[in-house]
Amino acid sequence: MATPNSNNPRPARPVLKQRLSSASFLQDHEQYKAPVFQNLGDVLRQPGDTLSTPLVLNSNPIKPNPEKVADSGIVHSIFNHEASDLPPGTPKLVATIFYKSSSPINPYVHPDISLQANPGDKLPPPVVPEGSAPTVDMEKIPREPPAPEPEPLDHLYGRFVSQLCLASFLQTLESLSTPYQRTYTSHRCLDQEAQPRVVEVTFWPPPNPEYLTFADLQKHESIWRFEREWNVEVVFQRESVFRRFKRLAVFDMDSTLIQNEVIDEIAKFVGVEKEVSEITARAMNGELDFSASLKARVSLLKGVPADVFDRLKSIVTISPGARELCSALKVLGFKLAVLSGGFQPLTEWLAKELGIDYAFANHLEVDPITQTLTGNLLPTFPIIDAAQKRALLRSIAAENSISISQTMSVGDGANDLLMLNTAGLGVAWHAKSKVQLEAPTRLNGPSLVDILYLLGLTKDEIEELTAVADSKKI
């Protein structure tokens, strides 16, 4: 039998070189691991023993360090930090992450980090989140119940876009089921560096559309799960000059620029609020034809005094951030329009209040003798339904020589879906469940000013714009 040749040593096993691992975005985020200052003796002790150092019970033992997300200026990659071999002009995508501070998944702070919580307190059971299904009633869901909710992590790691939240998002992007490719990302905080609520992440190249289209990316299950875990909303956009420099914004009125449904308010005058509200809710969720439902609701308003709109002005509540949003857009040179399925008198009044250039709504017929509503619409004016809103968006853009890619639209009802999907940026704002599922973008923040972050503006820039608007008395 042949003996091993001692002069020919066995080849060394391959080793993952440092240069292959050092560029990992996970290693870039090693700073998130906070040192543990407690030793085993501090935790395991006999009854009656006293601690030399008090055990801190109201802090998170893995609190991020440092405790803020700063604009990195770093391009994160799972590959080497070598010169990119991507061709010039490689497309980029922008993801704007909003922490939902006004609606935490768990209204109770986790017992581990709260002095107010008792050790026996339990987190509330998971529920079907609003906007993730046509109904939140488990008995009415027409298919298998949704999978259990992921454990919300914001109550553990911070009620803002934390460093761990950002790292989780980057890892989610890397894990999407697309052919393996180099992915580069960078981020910046739009509102504040310490505990930011809004963070913008740019990554490139985008997923190969043959495997994952942009529309599918926006509604990808992994992205949805990330949103639920960290209590955030993610808005994807293609990065281009037209994302940052738009010129036309069109808005729905009811439940968008104002918090009221005008037709429901009018119905209170004749005691048919319940009947009208039920039809309105079904129409806005896409369960009824809008034009037919509008005529049915208007017929119930017969006999209402024609001056009802003057009375309504005192009870109409303009949505938070609507004035600031419109003022900032006007300073930027935008043309603004309100396209409402409501009624013309109140729409024109709101347009003057907010400095809006165009106002289109439905026209009610008035009896000239009794000066009351007849219960009919004026036949000489078109009904402002979904198709008409889309047509008006296109015609206003054409009138001002504005390309569709430089337009944005904001609405909440099913009759807004066509214009939301037509505009360069369509935002479903606190929308009905069906609209949140079908709109290209959805936001449920505390203020309409959040829409300005989608244009890449920072908080300081937004404040500068509103200050200029105030000085001009727009």
Residue in 252, 412, 416, 450 annotated catalytic: 252
Q: How far apart are CA 354 and CA 262, in angstroms?
A: 17
- 252 an active-site residue? yes
- Residue 398 identity (one-letter amino acid): A
- For residues 416 and 255, what is the distance between their CA atoms, to the nearest angstrom? 12
> Both tokens of residue 36?
């543990």
Annotated active-site residue 254? The verdict is: yes
Helix %, strand %, coil % of the chain (to 5): 35, 15, 50
For residue 401, the 8-state DSSP code is T
C-alpha dist (Å) from residue 440 to 104, 241, 406: 23, 19, 16
User: Which residue in this structure is represented by tokens 């009824």?
Assistant: 288
Q: Residue 339, by phi and psi: left (phi above 0), alpha (psi -120 to 50) or beta?
A: beta
399-411: b (≥16 Cβ within 10 Å) or e: eeebeebbbbbbb
Strands 198-204, 364-367: pairing kind: unpaired
Burial class (CB in 10 A: 0-12, 13-18, 19+), 143: exposed
DSSP class of 270: G
* Cβ pair 436, 449 in contact under 8 A: no
Q: Which residues contact 243 (CB under 8 A, 6 or more apart)?
A: 94, 237, 424, 425, 455, 456
Sequence-distant (6+) residues with CB within 8 A of 115 are 58
First to last CA, the chain: 97
Q: Select from 209, 211, 189, 207 the least CA-distant residue to 198.
A: 189
Residue 204 bridge partners (DSSP): 184
The single residue of 28, 154, 191, 254 carrying the catalytic annotation is 254
**Six token digits for residue 102:** 């006004």
Q: How crowded is residue 305: how many other Cβ atoms within 10 Å of its Cβ?
A: 15
Active site amino acids? 252, 254
